[in-house]
């Protein structure tokens, strides 16, 4: 107890710094995954993608990031075991942040695709199970989280398969694809706007003091969705097409319409990513802050301190602004056949899956969901070639991340514990 | 380095290279009429030059074929079967080889198409090259097929093109029969070895259309799955 009383503010500041660095790493590392398809299909330039990512990642983190944060804080470990020794939980959370941040740095340097969600979950489980005791981990919910990593890509795959096929039926396989595109694309815009705003309204706005009833929430979401669709329609009407009898030119025009839609789904993707992944950085920080703030009492329902979400949001944006550019550059334009009509299906499916799953509070992996969505489009015969070898590598690196994150966090935990006790 | 991004998942598409390959093959076979014109005129130097061009185009097509094969390692997931892609490219490549063989054989023996057959032979050759062009057009729809997810109208359109290709090939069969008859009628007064080779050339030119039709058939199999 004395430790928290004597060193409380030091610990909070330390946790805040490490959490900020972690958010920074998430911004720098994951942006390529969240925005890559938009840049790859040339719907956005790198600069535009960075600007969109900055605005919407922050919005997502701030407006809808609260829900997952509490799961990371409470769901993985059974905090009742720490009631007598809250300082251990504080040390553990700080070491989890350090471990995940370190692993993220190493992996980025080596060019391995890792999931920030996996590394933080692995790290929390690691220090708690080995450093304190196997019984302190709520294995049931860990199982649920790991299960969700398998289920969410599947769901995203099914979504993208359905979305892509619907676009094929409604737009491409018609007498005049361009007219069909002008007619139907605003509907997809509506869908994207609706899902994102609904989840934000239902799950996210409590902590900024807005409580909206459910009927009202639907109304607002529909309002926002209509607004999005109208704006999209306006931009589509301003497109200039080279009219021609040639079918091929017609498809190029259709893709132009989809590029407008892709801008919207990219916003959605950034929003989804921000809302889901900010928790990886600030969940443990929130735990530290609430324990120290309550003089060692582990509150079962602690409100997030007001400065925590913005800190995570700013961290992500800072990482984006400073390093995102370099990561985006490596994307290049070497992707053949990733057209906006494919990218939109994958992005919309992934964004919806992430946002809905975040609404349930499960920490899911954005990258994984997106890979699932891309495979879904591939299954619908929409992508010329998918490199299953790379998919396998990504999966392997995910699996490796758990034990590595756990190992690192155990190491840091013993170090910190030794330093203070 | 797209190692840590989602974009590494996208492999290089084999469809574009397939289109480029058949265009190259088409270019190669397209030189045959001017080659025969040079031969008939007795301008062997020019024929020699054209034969060199045919040969270098055939080599270029070969390189493209090898690239397509090398860029399709195992574990590439495509909307079409991997085996179909590989079969298609070998089939396409055979057309260029055949064109090279024809020009080589003619030049090697300084063989001249007899004046009595010349008109018929030229229209026969043109028709066979039409078949190749039709096959190339059908293959060049792969882009749009991908755009429409290998379904619906676009597939029907390509199937129509393949039917058209088959009918062109039919035409060439009849023309071939006619040419053989015409050759039989005049073969008495000619060098027997030359006659044998003429028969062979007629057959090989017909093979161009056959091979083109087989390319269409492979494409059809590709779409049928």
Q: Say yes or no to pLDDT of A377 above 50.
A: yes
Q: Say yes or no to pLDDT of A232 above 70.
A: yes
- Considering only CB atoms, which chain A residues are within 8 Å of B1? 111, 330
The interface residues of chain A toward chain B in range 188-227, judged by CB-CB distance below 8 A, are none
On whether any CB of chain B is under 8 Å from the CB of A330, the answer is yes
Put simply, the answer to whether B152 touches A172 (Cβ < 8 Å) is yes
Minimal CA separation from B150 to chain A, in Å: 7
Who has greater pLDDT, A245 or A292? A292
Neighbour count for residue B17 (Cβ, 10 Å): 19
Question: Bridge-partner residues for A77, per DSSP?
Answer: A137
Put simply, the answer to whether A390 touches B73 (Cβ < 8 Å) is no
pLDDT of residue A322: 82
pLDDT of residue B2: 40
Q: Quick one: B211 exposed, middle or buried, by C-beta within 10 A (0-12, 13-18, 19+)? A: buried
Identify whether the C-beta of residue B132 lies closer than 8 Å to the C-beta of residue B208.
Answer: yes
Confidence band (pLDDT; 50, 70, 90) for A382? confident
Among the partner residues B1, B143, B150, nearest to A381 by beta-carbon distance? B150
* Residue in the block written with tokens 């989809």: A258
Put simply, the answer to whether A168 touches B146 (Cβ < 8 Å) is no
Confidence band (pLDDT; 50, 70, 90) for A354? confident
CA-based nearest residue to A359, from A349, A351, A367: A351
- Considering only CB atoms, which chain B residues are within 8 Å of A383? 10, 79
3-class DSSP state for residue A154?
helix
Compare all CA atoms of chain A with the CA of B150 and give the residue at the minimum distance.
A381
Among the partner residues A112, A336, A375, nearest to B3 by beta-carbon distance? A112
Q: Say yes or no to pLDDT of A207 above 70.
A: no
- Considering only CB atoms, which chain A residues are within 8 Å of B149? 164-165, 168, 172, 380-382
Q: Which of A213-217, A331-335, A411-415, B129-133 has the highest mean pLDDT?
A: B129-133
Confidence band (pLDDT; 50, 70, 90) for A231? very high
Quote the domain boundaries for residue A299: 2-420
Among the partner residues B5, B9, B153, nearest to A32 by beta-carbon distance? B5
pLDDT digits (tens, 9 = 90+) for A144-171: 888 888 899 999 999 999 999 999 999 9
On whether any CB of chain B is under 8 Å from the CB of A341, the answer is yes
C-alpha distances in angstroms, A14 versus A18, A91, A93, A94?
6, 11, 11, 8
pLDDT of residue B211: 97
Confidence band (pLDDT; 50, 70, 90) for A203? low
Minimal CA separation from A342 to chain B, in Å: 9
Put simply, the answer to whether A113 touches B3 (Cβ < 8 Å) is yes
Who has greater pLDDT, A362 or A54? A54
What domains appear along chain B, each with residue ranges and CATH number? 13-224 (1.20.58.220)
Minimal CA separation from B74 to chain A, in Å: 8
Read off the pTM.
0.87
Q: Say yes or no to pLDDT of A61 above 90.
A: no
Report, as ranges of residue numbers, the positions in chain B whose pLDDT lies below 70.
1-5
Identify whether the C-beta of residue B218 lies closer than 8 Å to the C-beta of residue B84.
Answer: yes
- Considering only CB atoms, which chain B residues are within 8 Å of A387? 8-11, 75-77
pLDDT of residue B1: 33
d(CA B86, CA A224): 50
Q: Say yes or no to pLDDT of A385 above 50.
A: yes
Minimal CA separation from B141 to chain A, in Å: 9
Q: How many domains does chain A have?
A: 1
Compare all CA atoms of chain B with the CA of A174 and give the residue at the minimum distance.
B153
Average pLDDT of A87-106?
89
Identify whether the C-beta of residue A126 lies closer than 8 Å to the C-beta of residue A99.
Answer: yes
What is the SS3 string spanning chain B?
Answer: CCCCCHHHHECCCCHHHHHHHHHHHHHHHCCHHHHHHHHHCCCHHHHHHHHHHHHHHHHHHHHHHHHHHHCCCCCEECCCCHHHHHHHHHHHHHHHHHHHHHHHHHHHHCCCCCHHHHHHHHHHHHHHHHHHHHHHHHHCCHHHHHHCCCCCHHHHHHHHHHHHHHHHHHHHHHHHHHHHHHHHHHHHHCCHHHHHHHHHHHHHHHHHHHHHHHHHHHHHHHHHC
Put simply, the answer to whether A336 touches B13 (Cβ < 8 Å) is yes
Minimal CA separation from A177 to chain B, in Å: 10
pLDDT of residue A1: 54
Minimal CA separation from B61 to chain A, in Å: 21
Per CB distance under 8 Å, which residues of B are interface residues toward A? 1-16, 73, 75-79, 143-144, 146-154
Minimal CA separation from B82 to chain A, in Å: 10
pLDDT of residue B3: 46
On whether any CB of chain B is under 8 Å from the CB of A324, the answer is no
Among the partner residues B5, B75, B78, nearest to A36 by beta-carbon distance? B5
3-class DSSP state for residue A384?
coil
Compare all CA atoms of chain A with the CA of B3 and give the residue at the minimum distance.
A111
Rounded to 5°, the CA angle B37-B41-B46 comes to: 70
d(CA B9, CA A117): 20
d(CA A406, CA B36): 76
Report chain A's mean pLDDT, rounded to a whole number.
Answer: 84
Who has greater pLDDT, A329 or A331? A329
pLDDT digits (tens, 9 = 90+) for A108-149: 777 676 788 888 989 999 998 887 888 888 888 888 888 888
- Considering only CB atoms, which chain B residues are within 8 Å of A33? 5-6
């Amino acid at each position: 107890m004395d430790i928290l009383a004597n060193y409380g503010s030091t610990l909070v500041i330390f946790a805040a710094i490490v959490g900020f660095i972690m958010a920074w790493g998430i911004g720098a590392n994951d942006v390529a995954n969240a925005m890559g398809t938009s840049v790859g299909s040339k719907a956005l330039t790198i600069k535009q993608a960075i600007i969109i990512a900055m605005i919407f990642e922050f919005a997502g983190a701030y407006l809808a990031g609260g829900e997952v944060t509490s799961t990371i804080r409470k769901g993985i470990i059974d905090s009742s075991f720490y009631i007598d020794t809250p300082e251990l939980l504080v040390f553990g959370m700080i070491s989890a942040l350090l471990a995940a941040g370190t692993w993220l740095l190493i992996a980025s340097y080596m060019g391995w695709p890792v999931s920030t969600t996996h590394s933080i979950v692995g790290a929390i489980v690691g220090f708690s199970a080995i450093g304190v005791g196997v019984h302190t981990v709520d294995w049931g919910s860990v199982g649920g989280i790991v299960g969700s990593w398998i289920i969410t890509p599947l769901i995203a795959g099914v979504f993208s398969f359905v979305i892509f096929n619907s676009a094929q039926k409604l737009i491409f396989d018609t007498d005049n694809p361009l007219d069909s595109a002008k007619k139907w694309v605003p509907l997809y815009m509506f869908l994207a706007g609706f899902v994102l705003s609904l989840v934000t309204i239902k799950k996210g706005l409590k902590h900024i003091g807005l409580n909206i009833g459910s009927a009202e929430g639907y109304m607002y979401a529909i309002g926002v969705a209509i607004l999005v669709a109208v704006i999209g329609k306006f931009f589509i009407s301003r497109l200039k097409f080279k009219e021609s009898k040639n079918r091929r030119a017609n498809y190029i025009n259709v893709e132009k319409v989809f590029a407008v839609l892709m801008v919207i789904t990219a916003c959605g993707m950034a929003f989804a990513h921000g809302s889901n992944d900010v928790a990886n950085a600030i969940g443990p920080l929130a735990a530290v802050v609430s324990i120290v703030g309550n003089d060692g009492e582990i509150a079962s329902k602690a409100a997030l301190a007001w400065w925590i979400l913005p800190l995570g949001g700013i961290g992500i944006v800072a990482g984006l602004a400073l390093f995102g550019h370099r990561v985006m550059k490596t994307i290049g334009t070497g992707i053949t056949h990733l057209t906006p009509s494919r990218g939109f299906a994958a992005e919309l499916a992934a964004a919806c899956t992430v946002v809905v799953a975040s609404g349930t509070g499960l920490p899911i992996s954005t990258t994984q969901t997106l890979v699932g969505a891309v495979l879904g489009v591939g299954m619908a015969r929409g992508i010329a070639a998918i490199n299953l070898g790379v998919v396998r590598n990504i999966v392997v690196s995910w699996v490796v991340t758990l034990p590595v994150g756990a190992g690192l966090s155990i190491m840091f935990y013993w170090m910190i514990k030794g330093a203070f006790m | 380095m797209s190692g840590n991004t989602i974009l590494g998942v996208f492999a290089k598409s084999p469809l574009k290279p397939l289109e480029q390959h058949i265009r190259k093959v088409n270019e190669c076979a397209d030189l045959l009429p001017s080659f025969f014109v040079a031969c008939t005129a007795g301008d062997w130097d020019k024929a020699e030059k054209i034969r060199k061009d045919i040969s270098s185009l055939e080599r270029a097509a070969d390189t493209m074929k090898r690239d397509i094969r090398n860029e399709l390692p195992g574990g590439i997931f495509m909307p079409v079967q991997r085996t179909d892609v590989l079969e298609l490219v070998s089939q396409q490549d055979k057309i260029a080889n055949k064109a090279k063989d024809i020009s080589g054989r003619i030049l090697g023996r300084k063989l001249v198409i007899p004046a009595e057959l010349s008109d018929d032979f030229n229209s026969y050759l043109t028709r066979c090259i039409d078949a190749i062009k039709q096959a190339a057009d059908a293959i060049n729809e792969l882009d749009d097929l991908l755009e429409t997810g290998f379904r619906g109208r676009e597939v029907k359109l390509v199937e129509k093109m393949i039917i058209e290709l088959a009918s062109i090939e039919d035409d060439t069969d009849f023309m071939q029969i006619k040419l053989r008859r015409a050759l039989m009628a005049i073969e008495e007064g000619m060098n027997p070895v030359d006659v044998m080779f003429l028969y062979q050339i007629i057959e090989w030119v017909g093979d161009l259309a056959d091979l083109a039709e087989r390319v269409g058939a492979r494409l059809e199999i590709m779409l049928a799955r």
